[in-house]
Amino acid sequence: MLNIQTCPHSTETRCDDCRLAGICLPIGLQLEDIGKLDQIIQRGRPVQKKEYIYHAGDKFKSVYAVRSGAVKTIKITEDGIEQITGFYLPGEIIGIDGLATNSHINSAITLETSAICEIPFSRLEELSTRIPHLQRRFFQIMSKEIASEQQLITLLGKNSAEERIAALLLSISSRNQSRGLSAKDFYLPMSRSDIANFLGLTIETVSRIFTRFHKSGLITLDKKHIVLNHADALRSFPQPLA
């Protein structure tokens, strides 16, 4: 018999059984409270690459946890230009942008096949008034989002192209590490053009700098497969993104 847990996109994993529980929404909750949270979470079928999880303008109903795969959030400016506002890896929460205006200001798109946990916000909000730890945890997630955006603002305002790319690599590295994966050897889920867009650069510049890092031995690079040979040297460039 097939053990359904072996599929990373399984729709059946409960929160208390999810290997991401230690970095996702349930941190700090009692087992009993995790159970309550678990009951309001909706687990859909796996989402294919390049599908939308929500569109800008959609009514804000839910926030979403990435369970597997990877997601980018994008904002379309008035003049029709796309700006990527974040990359999200398993255990991270998306969709909070809709809270202020009650409709999403970003769109979220999967970068690869992903599993997504949908958490209806009205029920989360209601549950939060009864579980103070959950309210605190949700405040924390939003605050962390603010902190990581401020880091990006600093990067875009002050740092060179090399520093921006080093920061992105280190950010993905440390987030992989906190998910129990390798900090030095990983695959980039996003394209060069996504990286360029996110970091305020052109695709040519991104490509040139990857080549430069590779030739200098700082990293080993084969398409999207990255090995960080000298993470310390990368770190001496910029402040890592959160």
The footprint of DNA (CB under 7 A) covers 160-162, 191-193, 200-208, 210-211, 221, 223-224
- Among 90, 93, 68, CA closest to 177: 90
Find which of a copy of itself, DNA, none residue 78 binds, CB within 5 to 8 Å per kind.
a copy of itself
In one-letter notation, the amino acid at residue 221 is: L
Using CA atoms, how far residue 91 sits from 26, 28, 79, 129, 179, in Å, is: 10, 14, 33, 23, 8
Report if residue 105 touches a copy of itself, rule: CB under 8 A. Answer: yes
Smallest distance from the beta carbon of 144 to a copy of itself, in angstroms?
A: 4
CB nearer to DNA: pick between 10 and 85: 85
Strand order in the sheet with 225-228: 185-187, 225-228, 219-222
Q: What is the rounded CA–CA span in Å between residue 12 and residue 44?
A: 9
Smallest distance from the beta carbon of 195 to DNA, in angstroms?
A: 8
Smallest distance from the beta carbon of 54 to a copy of itself, in angstroms?
A: 14
CB nearer to DNA: pick between 50 and 144: 50
165 and 199 in contact (C-beta within 8 Å)? yes
Find which of a copy of itself, DNA, none residue 203 binds, CB within 5 to 8 Å per kind.
DNA
Smallest distance from the beta carbon of 170 to DNA, in angstroms?
A: 17
CA angle 45, 47, 48 (to 5 degrees): 135
CA 194 to chain centre: 14
Which chain residues interact with a copy of itself by CB under 8 A?
75, 77-79, 81, 83, 85, 96-101, 105-106, 125-126, 128-130, 132, 135-136, 138-147, 149-150, 152-154, 156-158, 197-200, 239
